Amino acid sequence: MSSQLLNNTFKNIGITARHVLPAEGKGKIINIIKYLHKKNTNIFVTEKVYKILQKIITDKQILNNCTLLTPEKIHTLDLFIFFGGDGTLLNVLHEFAPEIFSIPIFGINGGNLGFFSSVTKENGITALDELFAGKYTKDARIVAKGELINENSSILETFYSVNEITIHHTGIARLRHLTVELSSEYLTTYKSDGLIISTPTGSTAYNLAAGGPIVAPQMNAFVITPLAPAGFSQRPIVLPSSKIFKISVDSSMRISIDGQKYFEIKKNNTLLITESKTPLTFLRLENERYYKNLREKLGWG
């Protein structure tokens, strides 16, 4: 994370919020909208936020300054704000991927256990003051790109992952064989219930719950963590993200992307995973520290 202060002007701002908000949360999001309106910004809101505004805001001038955000408008944004937890951001990232990856992201934690943002909802407006004053740094995170390819070398699906790509069984729970190659070099055949291929950002999510390591977010790496492996020798491994990951399975399984999207991978299919050319960039305030946030979220001493 660079310590250099940046002085960009935010003119077009997108914003989303949790799917379900209590009265207090709705009040917070309205205050954020009013703040951005006073800053003379053009506000673009997702459908869920727009519905909240229509029910609560009586000032027609503010409401008229809020445009429904569509994929065609993503490229016009200078900043995207999310109010919620990690799931809130993951949902909108998959809705507008891959164009949204080129937009700086700022998070106000209106959820529960959130690793994507460390600014509390109580300090949201104060944090925005610092942001508009240029008192922030950039925190770039790698994104995984996945391509599902059939036996004729045709691309069936293209998708992006911020946290993890998980391959798991869909029917009877039995041992599967998953073969992994790295840039045409054979790595191993995992005998397990499935695999998690995680980014450093996602290393504190499903990967951590499955026994995988925490990887510092500035590293260019992917983690492969087997799910319930048959042998004790098949352990999680950290690998350079510059490699081309090629994975095949011995029977039909399911691919889950960040818990947001699902695809079937068949025996004759191949999954290719590479590092996306465009990283995801978070904006952080000067006093934010990754390891301090990590200690607090995980309850370390």
Q: Which residues are catalytic?
A: 86
CB 176 within 8 A of CB 192: yes
DSSP tally for the chain: helices H, then strands E: 7, 20
> Rounded to an integer, what distance in angstroms lies between the CA atom of residue 107 and that of residue 66?
19
What single DSSP character describes residue 35? H
Closest CA to 31 of 46, 19, 49, 48: 49
> Rounded to an integer, what distance in angstroms lies between the CA atom of residue 80 and that of residue 105?
5
CB 172 within 8 A of CB 193: no
Backbone angles phi, psi at 175, to 5 degrees: -65, 135
Helix (H) or strand (E) holding 87: helix 86-96
CB 84 within 8 A of CB 16: yes
DSSP 3-state of 254: strand
CB 100 within 8 A of CB 124: no
Closest CA to 221 of 202, 208, 235: 202
Backbone angles phi, psi at 189, to 5 degrees: -115, 110
Closest CA to 141 of 276, 6, 293, 17: 276
Backbone angles phi, psi at 257, to 5 degrees: -115, 110
Peptide bond into 226 cis (omega under 30): no
